[in-house]
Chain A
Amino acid sequence: MSTLTLRQEPPERLDLLPVTPLSLSGLSEAEAARLPVGTSRRGLTLGDCFSLSLDGSDTLTIEGGSARLDGVGGSLSGGVIRVVGDVGQRLGAGMSGGTLTVTGSAGPFAGAGATGGTITIEGDAGDHAGGAVYAAKAGLDGATLVIRGRAGDHLGDRMRRGLLLVGQAGAYAGARMIAGTIAAQSVGDHPGYGMRRGTILTGGHGALSPSFVATGTHDLVFLRLLARSLRTISATHADLAAGALTRYSGDLATLGKGELWVAAG
């Protein structure tokens, strides 16, 4: 297992997008230490900020997190990255495979445009987790994003496919969703605002947009499949899917093929 240990809080935001087990596997520690990670004219390198211990394996641990570590795992296509601590924005944004775990919290835009693999945030996530970055066509795009704690507003904004699982989410969860699945213990106001397709499963929600209509309770095979898929990640969410649910269809202000499943009673 290769390890990067943060020496101290970085003096500026660091861009760790190119740092993956694969990219480090062909480099000596001296070569890896020269990788540029700074975002200012200071010219910080990986070795300036981290002490390196590389063994060429497909597992990389980053010890000592910071909210200034941006783009962690963004180019991950396989293997494992584990961050012990917090990370900054765009965690796993654009990743295509592998496993990315953060024991702390993440900044905004976690999982944006991620097409494969699994991202797990043990703590909280900022706004736009699984959402689209500005000017991007889609947010989460096939990956699985698990947020054990709270997520900010606009969770899964413009999400296109994949599975997004969260404890509590803020307002506009699943807004402008293209497709995909969000499972949350609770969401804030206006879930699914402007969603075209997709599924939002939640234990409770804030104000609901008037362009969602109740279709009643349904015992659909799809919910069985969803519950079985969620069971391997979170028993709580799986129980939610397996319980009594009321379905809302929307957003009828747009395509209207989305759905909001809310725990009944």
Chain B
Amino acid sequence: MRPARDRPGQWDDTWRQEPVTEMSDFTLNGITVVDTFAEAFDVAGTALIITNDTAKWAMIAAVTMTGFATSVIGCGAEAGIDCELSPDETPDGRPGVRVLLFGFEPNGLKDQLLKRVGQCILTCPGTACYAGVEGPHKIKLGGAIRYFGDGFAVAKRLPDPATGKARRYWRIPVMDGEFLCEDFVRAVDGAVGGGNLLFLGRTHAGTLKVAEIAVDAARAVSDVILPFPGGIVRSGSKVGARTKGMMASTNDAYCPTLKGRAGSELAAEVGVVLEIVIDGLTSRSVAESMRAALHASTEAGAAHGLVAVTAGNYGGNLGRHHYHLKDLLSKEPAAEATAS
């Protein structure tokens, strides 16, 4: 489940609005775009470069490491693949994959980073691991994993030919030779988690196709990931629940089987709602990724039964970053998300 959004209280229906498709909102490529905003949060973010002798095995390591990382609440981190890297783009001249990892704060991120690198990268044949982003916060990585080497690990400091600065690596003896891992990675300031769009469609197949097109467009922007399965989430959630103790529960206002009840946000023709969630190392990358997804989805939407595009928020009270869909209607890059 996603972190709760859209409704700040439990069964407080006073916030509810009219069904979205009946509002006089905006139109983009013939598709209704609701005049609302996506609410996102400051998170701790980092990037890793994973290399291997072949692109296939680099991807296997990256996919394994970013598994079970859809929501920071339930998984401890949100992680995904940013892009594949050619041998010219990696520190050791081998094919690579850049992955991004996000957590609530640097300490939690460190914990997840160590677990995931220790269990998924260290264990993967032939894989090496490097820092993938510069930032102000240092997270010890190789310097912590080296203890697996039982005292046989050695550090090596070598000048980086690209920058001239020295980089320190740990070489940990393993059964296929050595696991090489950079001593530390960096966490950035200004990472954002929770940029999102909701696609309101008529059929499951059509709406899924639109969401897939949006995911492809969103992922083409660098420094972002879409952590959910295939980049798409169907189980949007709200804060709280009728069941005592539940932190979050299904976003009933957008469940098509609950249409017609008080509080439903869906018009009669809406049969399916799918959401994409975007985390980025910068607020601008999230905004541009949302913009690309919005335009791609609306361009393809009419042919696939898309009714409207909207976004999830908590009323603007919880997250600092508000991505107003009206600011994304232009194909030109917009200003940074407004701060509340």
A residues adjacent to B (C-beta < 8 A): 142, 144, 161-163, 179, 181, 197, 199, 218-222, 224-226, 228-229, 231-232, 257
Contacts and interface: CB of A to CB of B under 8 A. Distances in A.
Given A218-B177, A221-B178, A225-B169, A181 B154 contact: no
B159 interface: yes
Contacts of A179: 154-155
B56 interface: no
Given A197-B154, A228-B92, A228-B93, A222 B169 contact: yes
A220 B178 contact: yes
Contact of A220 (B91, B161, B166, B177): B177
A239 to B, nearest CB: 14
Given A144-B159, A228-B92, A221 B128 contact: yes
B157 A224 contact: no
Please indicate which of the listed interface residues A144, A163, A221, A228 has the most CB atoms of chain B within 10 Å of its own CB: A221
B154 A221 contact: no
Nearest to A218: B177
SS of B interface (majority)? strand
B55 to A, nearest CB: 16
A179 B169 CA distance: 13
Given A181-B156, A199-B156, A257-B152, 4 more contacts: A144-B159, A220-B180, A221-B94, A232-B161
Nearest to B157: A161
A163 B159 contact: yes
A225 B92 contact: yes
A161 B91 CA distance: 21
Contacts of B91: 225, 228
Contacts of A228: 91-93, 161
Contacts of B285: none
Contacts of B161: 228-229, 231-232
B237 interface: no
Nearest to A162: B157
Interface residues of B, number: 21
Contact of B171 (A163, A222, A229): A222
Please indicate which of the listed interface residues B158, B160, B180 has the most CB atoms of chain A within 10 Å of its own CB: B158
Contacts of A224: 92-94
B51 interface: yes
18 contacts: A163-B158, A181-B156, A199-B156, A220-B178, A220-B180, A221-B51, A221-B128, A221-B178, A222-B171, A225-B91, A225-B92, A228-B92, A228-B93, A229-B158, A231-B161, A232-B161, A257-B152, A257-B154
Nearest to A198: B154
A221 B92 contact: yes
A218 B161 CA distance: 23
Interface string B118-141: 000000000010000000000000
B154 A226 contact: no
Contacts of A222: 156, 169, 171, 178, 180
Contacts of B92: 221, 224-225, 228
B92 to A, nearest CB: 4
Nearest to A231: B161
B29 to A, nearest CB: 47
A199 B178 CA distance: 15
A221 B180 contact: yes
Nearest to A257: B154
B61 to A, nearest CB: 13
